């Protein structure tokens, strides 16, 4: 698999625009513009073989050429063909070939290319290093599955390209193209791209039962590609649910993370929850034993949950999806958006007061639930605590933003005294994240972007207050001689200065801190 070296990613979750990959390629910019224009105006199928062939990465073209010269078949396959058909720059280039692994190693050696056995005996893969990039070249193969929920129990080499394509998950990923641009589409992947439809190769139940991770990949592809799941795909999901228990948490987490930061995350998450997949459990191996990990059953009760129409246009689940999609595509904000109302409708939270539906306390309870979810998902503590803080404080932010009389500075001072954050800048950044979450929350209520202007201004104000509020002694603006003045009570004295600044009784300036230090020292001498 070839990874473009210029793509900056966050856990391989960030996509790039069409021309971004080529901005330093000179003539390739113009070439890709021509190709993408052709793909957009006509269709991938209507473009000439030459036009399609010219869109193939140069390194992949060289490898395909070497394979053909050796008398073997070679094709780009899978996601790169799908991306080309959709007018996108592929992020990676996978190659399938009739050449056996040992033959591929010989082909590479004759060209002076570095080649690495990437599991040739078991999986038929050779990694060719060309131009500083890695290309996965895999022999035509077929697979059979056993007890393992993800990995095939047996891999055998296939004789034809069609046999190789038959083993793949979805029709849009089961297309191949040779160096000349000739397209091989045995399962109508192009038709499904045109119809924005995700469909499995063959029977959906069989494909999902072979590899249960495909259930999560289906949800992710719906989100990434902006496709609708074909009815046959949805109907085939449930029969494979028992296999999910054999999947590792790491695999599931990776797929869900990639789903959440997708442009159309709401579609993928809706499929994950409404299908019942979120109520399944995977597992994690720790200290030699497997532990069951529920995926996201806490979300299921939100589906169809009514809300007070005065404030909400949608039910709780559609509201959550709308907030999710309105939030910035960052893992932190998307997880906070997904979980911000997770406690609505829960016993002890949902009530009817004066004929109105209420969920008082859902922010606090939701924070507890978010901590439980992210902890069992083995998220790092800092990420977990940040999401928990956003969920816990989103209603408070709404209140302060809508209440001019509320003492916002008091809120910041309290956070600083309680050492909730490691620094002033960390506190400011969290308020900016909270601002973005609450803006998405407003949009998710069915209100226009203009309704968020007050929250935008308030969030910037809170960030500025935070930057001026010291959280640690290091952020006090004291002159160099202050520690000497406080000796031998330096630690106590500095804490006193910090506390007084945080309470608003002392300015964080050199002059004010110097005078306060002198008075502190005098009191302790007397």
Instruction: Encode pLDDT of 232-284 as tens digits.
Output: 999 999 999 999 999 999 999 999 999 999 999 999 999 999 999 999 999 99
Per mean pLDDT, which range of 9-13, 282-286, 334-338, 350-354 is the poorest?
Answer: 9-13
Q: Is the pLDDT of residue 176 over 50?
A: yes
Two structure tokens written together for 389:
């803080």
The pLDDT score that the predictor gives to residue 146 is 62
Residues 489 and 444 in one domain: no
User: Which residues are CB-contacts of 210 (< 8 A; sequence separation ≥ 6)?
Assistant: 143, 145, 152
Per mean pLDDT, which range of 29-33, 284-288, 347-351 is the poorest?
Answer: 29-33
Residue 1 lies in a domain: no
The pLDDT score that the predictor gives to residue 40 is 52
The pLDDT score that the predictor gives to residue 6 is 27
DSSP category for residue 517: H
Using pLDDT thresholds of 50, 70 and 90, give the confidence band for residue 132.
Answer: confident
Starting at the edge strand found earlier in the chain, the sheet holding 125-130 runs: 114-117, 125-130, 133-139, 94-97, 74-77, 176-177, 183-184
Straight-line distance from the first to the last Cα atom of the chain, in angstroms, rounded to the nearest whole number: 74
Check if the beta carbon of residue 500 is closer than 8 Å to that of residue 473.
no
Residues 478 and 464 in one domain: no
Residue 298 and residue 279: Cα distance in Å, rounded? 8
* Range 211-217 average pLDDT: 97
Percent of all residues in the chain with a pLDDT value above 70, rounded to a whole number: 88
Residues 344 and 486 in one domain: no
Instruction: Encode pLDDT of 433-486 as tens digits.
Output: 999 999 999 999 999 999 999 999 999 999 999 999 999 999 999 999 999 999
- What SS3 string covers 84-153? HHCCCCCCCCEEEECCCHHHHHHHHHHHCCEEEECCHHHHCEEEEEECCEEEEEEECEEEECCCCCCCCC
* Residue where a domain terminates, one of 471, 500, 515: 471
Residue 277 lies in a domain: no
Residues 520 and 374 in one domain: no
C-alpha radius of gyration, the chain, whole number:
29
Residue 81 and residue 103: Cα distance in Å, rounded? 25
Residue 143 lies in a domain: yes
The pLDDT score that the predictor gives to residue 12 is 30
Residue 302 lies in a domain: no
Residue 443 lies in a domain: yes
Using pLDDT thresholds of 50, 70 and 90, give the confidence band for residue 314.
Answer: confident
Residues 72 and 155 in one domain: yes
Q: Is the pLDDT of residue 19 over 60?
A: no
CB atoms within 10 A of CB 23: 12
The pLDDT score that the predictor gives to residue 120 is 58
Per mean pLDDT, which range of 105-119, 138-152, 372-386, 403-417 is the poorest?
Answer: 138-152
Residue 413, burial from CB neighbour count under 10 angstroms (0-12, 13-18, 19+): middle
* Residue where a domain terminates, one of 176, 195, 214: 195
Residue 82 lies in a domain: yes
Residues 117 and 146 in one domain: yes
Residue 414 and residue 423: Cα distance in Å, rounded? 14
The pLDDT score that the predictor gives to residue 38 is 55
CA torsion 276-279-283-286 (nearest 10°) is 160
Could you tell me how many helices (H) and strands (E) the chain has, helices first? 24, 15
The pLDDT score that the predictor gives to residue 21 is 33
DSSP for 9-69? -STT-----TTGGGTTSTHHHHHHHHHHHHHHHS-TTTS-HHHHHHTS-HHHHHHHHHHHH
Residue 132: phi, psi to the nearest 5? 80, 5
Bridge partners (DSSP) of residue 282 are: 293
293 vs 311, which has greater pLDDT?
293
* Range 179-198 average pLDDT: 95
Residues 54 and 157 in one domain: yes
The pLDDT score that the predictor gives to residue 33 is 53
Report how many domains make up the chain: 3
Range of the domain at 332: 325-471
* Residue where a domain terminates, one of 430, 454, 471: 471
Using pLDDT thresholds of 50, 70 and 90, give the confidence band for residue 131.
Answer: confident
Q: Is the pLDDT of residue 367 over 80?
A: yes
The pLDDT score that the predictor gives to residue 275 is 97
Q: Is the pLDDT of residue 28 over 70?
A: no
Parallel/antiparallel/unpaired status of strands 228-229 and 197-198? parallel
Residues 366 and 486 in one domain: no
The pLDDT score that the predictor gives to residue 150 is 55
215 vs 158, which has greater pLDDT?
215
Residue 306 lies in a domain: no
CA torsion 402-325-349-359 (nearest 10°) is 40
Instruction: Encode pLDDT of 79-100 as tens digits.
Output: 999 999 998 889 899 999 999 9
Residue 190 lies in a domain: yes
Q: Is the pLDDT of residue 26 over 50?
A: no
Two structure tokens written together for 139:
């022999």
Two structure tokens written together for 127:
């990694």
Question: Distances in Å between the alpha carbon of 171 and those of 96, 212, 236, 435, 512?
Answer: 16, 17, 15, 41, 71
The pLDDT score that the predictor gives to residue 234 is 97
Check if the beta carbon of residue 69 is closer than 8 Å to that of residue 61.
no
Percent of all residues in the chain with a pLDDT value above 90, rounded to a whole number: 77
Average pLDDT of the residues of the chain: 89
Q: What is the CATH number of the domain that holds 120?
A: 3.30.460.10
Residues 516 and 443 in one domain: no
Instruction: Encode pLDDT of 44-53 as tens digits.
Output: 777 888 888 8
Q: Is the pLDDT of residue 56 over 60?
A: yes
Check if the beta carbon of residue 245 is closer than 8 Å to that of residue 287.
no
Residues 350 and 482 in one domain: no
Two structure tokens written together for 452:
């968020």
Residues 373 and 444 in one domain: yes
Residues 462 and 481 in one domain: no
Per mean pLDDT, which range of 124-138, 266-280, 306-320, 505-519 is the poorest?
Answer: 306-320
């Amino acid at each position: 698999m070839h990874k473009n070296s210029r793509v900056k990613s966050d856990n391989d979750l960030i996509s790039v625009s069409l021309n971004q990959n080529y901005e330093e390629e000179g003539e390739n910019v113009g070439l890709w513009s021509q190709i993408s224009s052709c793909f957009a105006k006509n269709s991938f199928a209507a473009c000439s073989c030459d036009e399609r062939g010219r869109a193939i990465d140069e390194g992949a073209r060289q490898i395909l050429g070497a394979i053909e010269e050796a008398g073997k078949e070679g094709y780009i396959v899978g996601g790169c063909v799908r991306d080309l058909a959709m007018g996108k720059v592929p992020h990676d280039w996978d190659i399938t070939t009739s050449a056996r692994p040992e033959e591929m190693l010989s082909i590479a050696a004759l060209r002076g290319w570095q080649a690495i056995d990437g599991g040739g005996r078991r999986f038929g893969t050779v990694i060719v290093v060309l131009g500083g990039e890695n290309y996965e070249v895999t022999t035509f193969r077929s697979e059979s599955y056993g007890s393992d929920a993800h990995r095939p129990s047996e891999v055998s080499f296939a004789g034809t390209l069609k046999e190789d394509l038959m083993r793949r998950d979805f029709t849009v990923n089961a297309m191949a193209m040779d160096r000349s641009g000739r397209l091989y589409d045995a399962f109508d992947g192009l038709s499904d791209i045109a119809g924005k439809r995700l469909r499995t190769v063959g029977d959906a139940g069989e494909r999902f039962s072979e590899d249960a991770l495909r259930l999560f990949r289906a949800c992710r592809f719906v989100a990434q590609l902006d496709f609708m799941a074909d009815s046959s795909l949805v109907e085939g999901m449930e029969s494979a649910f028992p296999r999910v228990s054999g999947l590792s948490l790491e695999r599931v987490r990776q797929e869900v993370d990639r789903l959440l930061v997708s442009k159309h995350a709401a579609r993928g998450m809706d499929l994950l929850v409404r299908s019942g997949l979120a109520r399944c459990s995977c597992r994690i191996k720790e200290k030699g034993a497997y532990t069951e990990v529920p995926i996201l059953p806490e979300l299921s009760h939100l589906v169809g949950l009514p809300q007070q129409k005065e404030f909400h246009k949608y039910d709780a689940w559609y509201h959550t999806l709308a907030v999710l999609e309105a939030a910035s595509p960052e893992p932190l904000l998307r997880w906070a958006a997904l979980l911000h109302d997770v406690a609505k409708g829960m016993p002890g939270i949902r009530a009817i007061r004066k004929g109105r539906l209420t969920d008082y306390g859902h922010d606090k309870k939701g924070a507890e639930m978010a901590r439980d979810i992210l902890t069992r998902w083995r998220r790092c503590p800092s990420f977990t605590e940040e999401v928990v803080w956003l969920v816990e404080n989103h209603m408070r932010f709404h209140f302060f933003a809508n209440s001019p009389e509320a003492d916002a500075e008091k809120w910041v001072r309290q956070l600083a005294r309680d050492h909730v954050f490691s620094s002033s800048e960390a506190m400011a950044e969290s308020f900016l994240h909270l601002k973005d979450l609450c803006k998405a929350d407003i949009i998710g209520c069915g209100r226009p972007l203009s309704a968020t202007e007050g929250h935008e201004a308030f969030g910037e104000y809170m960030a500025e207050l935070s930057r001026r509020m010291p959280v640690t002694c290091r952020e006090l603006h004291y002159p160099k001689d202050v520690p000497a003045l406080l000796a031998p009570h330096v630690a106590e004295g500095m804490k006193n200065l910090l506390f007084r600044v945080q309470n608003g009784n002392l300015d964080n300036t050199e002059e004010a801190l110097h005078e306060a230090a002198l008075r502190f020292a005098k009191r302790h001498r007397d």
